[in-house]
Structure 1
Amino acid sequence: MTLQLRYAAISDVGKVRKDNQDSGYAGPWLLAVCDGVGGAARGDLASSTAVQQLRNLDDPPEPEHTAEELVSQVAGALHRAHDRIAELVEHDPALSSTSTTATVGLFDGEQLAIGHVGDSRAYLFREQGLTQLTHDHTFVQTLIDDGRITETEARYHPHRNLILKAIDGQREAEPDLFVVPLQAGDRLMLCSDGVCGVLDDGRIADVLTGGSADYAAVELVRASLEAGSSDNVTCIVADVVEAPADDAVDPDEVAEPQLVGAAAELRRRRLFKGHRSGDTGELEPIVVDDDAEGLPAGAIPDDPLDPDIREALRYAPRSPRRFVWLRRVLVIAILAGLLWVAAAAAWSWAQRQYFVGVDGNVVTVFRGLNTSFAGIDLSTPYMRTDLAVADLPTYDARQVEQGVTQSNLTDARHYIDTLASHAGTGAE
Structure 2
Amino acid sequence: MAAARTQAQVRRAPSAKFGSRTDIGCVREHNEDSLIVAPPLYAVADGMGGHAAGEVASEIAVRTLARQAPSEADTEALGNAVITANYAVINAAQEKGRSGMGTTMTAAVLRGERLAIAQVGDSRAYLLHQGQMQQLTRDHSLMADMIEAGEITPEEARVHPKRSIITRALGSDPSMQPDLYELDVCTGDRLLLCSDGLTGMLEDSEIETILMRTRDPQRCASILVNEAIAAGGQDNVTVVVVDVEGNEEQRVKKTRRRGRAWAIVIILAIIATVLGICYGAYHYSQTCAYLASQDGKVAVYQGVPDSVLGVSLSHLDHVTSVEVSDLEPGVANRLSEGVIRVDNLDKANQLVDTYEEYIEESKAASASASTSNESSENAEGSSSESAESNEETEEATNSATSSASSSQEGVA
TM-score (norm 1): 0.53
Higher RCO, Cα 8 Å, sep 6+: 1
Mapping for residues 366-377 of structure 1, pairs under 5 Å: none
Mapped pair 1:219 → 2:230: no
Q: Which residue of 1 aligns with 2:161?
A: 158
Unaligned runs of 5+ in 1: 62-68, 250-428
**Distance in 2 between residues matched to 1:76 and 1:165, nearest whole Å:** 16
2:61 is aligned with what amino acid? Answer: A
Whether the 8 Å CA contact 1:121–1:132 is kept in 2: the answer is yes
| Post-superposition offset of 1:118 | 0.3
Q: Distance in 1 between matches of 2:31 and 2:220?
A: 21
Q: 1:392-403 counterparts in 2 under 5 A?
A: none
- C-alpha deviation, 1:11, in angstroms: 0.2
What does 1:106-125 align with in structure 2 at a 5 Å threshold? 106-125=109-128
Secondary structure at 1:159 match in 2: coil
CA contact (8 A) 1:89 1:169 kept: no
1:248-397 → structure 2 map (5 Å cutoff): none
- Residue of structure 2 in register with 1:20 after alignment: 31
Runs (4 or more) in structure 1 with deviation over 6 Å come to 246-249
Map 1:95-174; keep pairs closer than 5 Å. Answer: 95-168=98-171, 170-174=173-177
SS of equivalent residue, structure 1 residue 209: helix
| Correspondent of 1:74 among 48, 57, 78 | 78
Q: Distance in 2 between matches of 1:169 and 1:21?
A: 17
Distance 2:233 2:123 in 1: 14
Equivalent pair of 2:47/2:58 in contact (CA under 8 Å): yes
Q: How far, CA to CA, are the matches of 1:230 and 1:205 in structure 2?
A: 21
Q: Greater share of helix residues, 1 or 2?
A: 2
Secondary structure of the 2:108 match is: strand
**Map of 2:184 onto structure 1:** 181
Tell me which amino acid in the other structure corresponds to 1:231: D
For 1:55 and 1:8, locate their aligned partners in 2 and report how far apart those are by CA, in whole Å: 18
How far apart are 1:27 and its partner, in Å? 2.3
* 1:54 match: 65
Instruction: Determine the C-alpha separation between the residues in 1 that align with 2:168 and 2:251.
Output: 46
Q: How far apart are residue 80 of structure 1 and its match?
A: 1.0
2:30 maps to a residue whose letter is D
The alignment yields a C-alpha RMSD, in angstroms, of 2.1
Which residue of 1 is the match for residue 341 of structure 2? none
- Unaligned 5+ segments in structure 2 are 1-12, 254-412
Aligned 8 A contact 2:71 2:109 in 1: no
Give, in angstroms, the shift of residue 246 of structure 1. 6.7
Offset of 1:81 from its aligned partner?
0.6
CA distance in 2, matches of 1:176, 1:219: 29
- Conservation of the 8 A alpha-carbon contact between 1:187 and 1:239: yes
Secondary structure at the counterpart of residue 136 of structure 1: coil
Deviation of 1:229 after TM superposition, in Å, equals 2.5
Q: Look up the SS of the partner of 1:199 in the other structure.
A: coil
Preserved contact between residue 29 and residue 58 of structure 1 (Cα < 8 Å): no
Amino acid corresponding to residue 44 of structure 1 in structure 2: E
Cα displacement (A) at 1:41:
5.7
- From the CA coordinates, give the structure whose radius of gyration is larger: 2
The amino acid that maps onto 2:102 is S
Deviation of the 1:110 alpha carbon:
2.2
Task: Quote the Cα distance in structure 1 between the aligned partners of 2:139 and 2:105.
Answer: 11
